[in-house]
Amino acid sequence: MRHPLDIFPLDIATGNAFCNRTQEIERLSTNIEGVTHTLITAPRRMGKTSLVIETLNRLDIARLIPVHLDLMLTSSPTSVQQYILKAVGEGISEIKPIASKLNQAGQQLKKALLSLRPQIEITDDGFKIKLEATKSPVESISDALTGLDELANKHGYRVVFYMDEFQQLADMADNETLEAAIRHAAQHAKATAYIFTGSNRHMLSLMFDDSARPLYHLCDKIVIERINTSEYAAYLKKQAKKRWKKPITETAIATIMKCTQQHPYYVNVLCRHLWREKTPPSAKKAMEAWCHYIQYERGRVISDINKLSNNQRELLILIANEPTDTPYAEHYLSRVNFARGSVRNILKALIEQDFILCDQNGFYRAQDPVIEAYIRHKQQGSSLIHV
Ligand SMILES: Nc1ncnc2c1ncn2[C@@H]1O[C@H](COP(=O)(O)OP(=O)(O)O)[C@@H](O)[C@H]1O
Ligand SMILES: [Mg+2]
């Protein structure tokens, strides 16, 4: 039996820990097979990376080279270039007909010339041996990506070039040149399917939806939503059977769904805790554990809320307490103090920063269930000190 911590991981979920997303997996697989590029967006911790990795695990394509580039920590075009060149180098070394020959040559060289740090340099008519470590020439990103694609195509390989947290590029100097280089490579790719993911949907939308920007109309877009309640309930029942050989009650499941609002990260946080117990949780136990977690997270919630302007905070508090499908209605706004005319901009800023979302039913609500629960708890709590 898998350990409960493996079934409900706080990082990438795959295999038995992966619930549903059948349609998304199918669509992404079709795109990869057809060398169609894909953009996947969703707020952070909604399951983008897990979806890509799980899809790659399930794909049955012979000679597939999956490359995963996490751009989270990049801050300049040079660092992006370094990441990409490294990834391309690793990708090429996966192409067996090339790697086996170079590897043989490399092994012999290393044995004979170890102290001279032999390097293999590719030339027009084969390769050249260099005997001093030199800085590698700065190649352009587009050349590296195109080169990988050409080699893969020539040898019957397929590449998936997955760039995670792609919005990082938008903030860099020369970002449009970088975007143009990537577009050039992607547009001419024969064997490489690109996948871009990121959590800052506003930034990504500026990059991919603006006809003036290089990446415009390059990708099929997948938006990840929360996993629906019935799929999640069935999944949790199955995990309960495996853990305790006993069913979990419908009310306990309903409580887990209601507290976490089917947010995959928070479902895992809560279930990870509950699944450690010796018996299935009651609804009451699940609720207690959730309240405990909200308290534990309050430092993070407060620092998140403090990033907002006073007006933004006021509107967030109103919407968290009372989700609405009519955010501009006079009676609704009678409870805030700022000018009515500015509501549109304040709401827009909250949506762009992922504090507020508009759900499938057209209701505006807090995006993060922990922030929502914290605000409600604060508003409803007593001001008296119990001594
Ligand atoms: N399909 C899924 N089933 C179960 N848990 C998932 C699923 N997708 C994501 N998770 C969980 O949600 C959290 C966030 O997943 P991750 O893939 O890192 O999201 P993102 O890349 O969008 O930030 C992790 O705890 C992960 O285990
Ligand atoms: Mg991720």
- Specify whether 137 is located in the same domain as 61: yes
Ligand 1 atom 27 nearest Cα: 13
Domain of 358, CATH number, reads 1.10.10.10
- Specify whether 219 is located in the same domain as 237: no
Asked if residue 302 is part of any domain, the answer here is: no
Q: Which residues line ligand 1 (CB under 6 A)?
A: 9-13, 17-21, 42, 44-50, 264-265, 268
Distance 31 CA to ligand 1 centre (A): 21
- Specify whether 197 is located in the same domain as 61: yes
Q: Which atom of ligand 1 is nearest to the CA of 19?
A: 3
Based on the number of CB atoms within 10 Å of its own CB, is 302 exposed (0-12), middle (13-18) or buried (19 or more)?
exposed
- Specify whether 272 is located in the same domain as 322: no
Among 247, 276, 296, where does a domain finish? 296
Strands, DSSP E only, in 184-266? 192-198, 220-223
Residues 6+ apart with CB under 8 A from 227: 19, 20, 21, 47, 262, 264, 267
Distance 40 CA to ligand 1 centre (A): 13
Give the angle 166-167-170 at the CA atoms, nearest 5°: 120
Distance 93 CA to ligand 2 centre (A): 26
Asked if residue 375 is part of any domain, the answer here is: yes
Asked if residue 142 is part of any domain, the answer here is: yes
Q: Are 65 and 94 in contact (CB under 8 A)?
A: yes
- Specify whether 320 is located in the same domain as 277: no
The number of the ligand nearest the C-alpha atom of 222 reads 1
Asked if residue 243 is part of any domain, the answer here is: yes
Chain centroid to CA 43: how far?
Answer: 8
Q: Which three-class secondary structure state does DSSP give residue 161?
A: strand
Among 161, 190, 223, where does a domain finish? 223
Looking at the 3D structure of the chain, how many domains does it have? 3
Q: Which atom of ligand 1 is nearest to the CA of 13?
A: 27
Asked if residue 84 is part of any domain, the answer here is: yes
Q: How far, in Å, CA of 24 to CA of 22, rounded?
A: 6
Domain holding 353, by residue range, is: 308-380
- Specify whether 178 is located in the same domain as 268: no
Exposure string (b/e) for 137-151, b if CB count within 10 Å is 16 or more? eeeebbebbbbbbeb
- Specify whether 191 is located in the same domain as 261: no
Asked if residue 125 is part of any domain, the answer here is: yes
Scanning 277-353, the segments in alpha helix (DSSP H) are 283-296, 298-305, 310-321, 330-333, 343-352
Distance 38 CA to ligand 2 centre (A): 15
Domain of 38, CATH number, reads 3.40.50.300
- Specify whether 166 is located in the same domain as 245: no
Asked if residue 11 is part of any domain, the answer here is: no
From 6, 50, 201, mutation site for ligand 1 pocket: most ligand atoms within 8 A of C-beta: 50
pLDDT recorded at residue 131: 59
73, 105, 195, 211, 363 from 87: Cα distances, Å: 15, 22, 14, 29, 42
Among 276, 296, 316, where does a domain finish? 296
pLDDT recorded at residue 139: 40
- Specify whether 215 is located in the same domain as 237: no
Q: Which three-class secondary structure state does DSSP give residue 209?
A: coil
- Specify whether 170 is located in the same domain as 195: yes
- Specify whether 208 is located in the same domain as 239: no
- Specify whether 182 is located in the same domain as 72: yes
Asked if residue 14 is part of any domain, the answer here is: no
Written as tens digits, the pLDDT of the chain (387 aa) is: 567 668 999 999 999 999 999 999 999 999 999 999 999 999 999 999 999 999 999 999 999 999 999 999 888 888 888 888 888 888 988 988 888 888 888 888 778 777 667 778 888 887 776 755 333 323 468 888 988 999 999 999 999 999 999 999 988 888 888 898 899 999 999 999 999 999 998 999 999 999 999 899 999 999 999 999 999 999 999 999 999 999 999 999 999 999 999 999 999 999 999 999 999 999 999 999 999 999 999 999 999 999 999 999 999 999 999 999 999 999 998 888 888 889 999 999 999 999 999 988 999 999 999 999 999 998 877 677 766
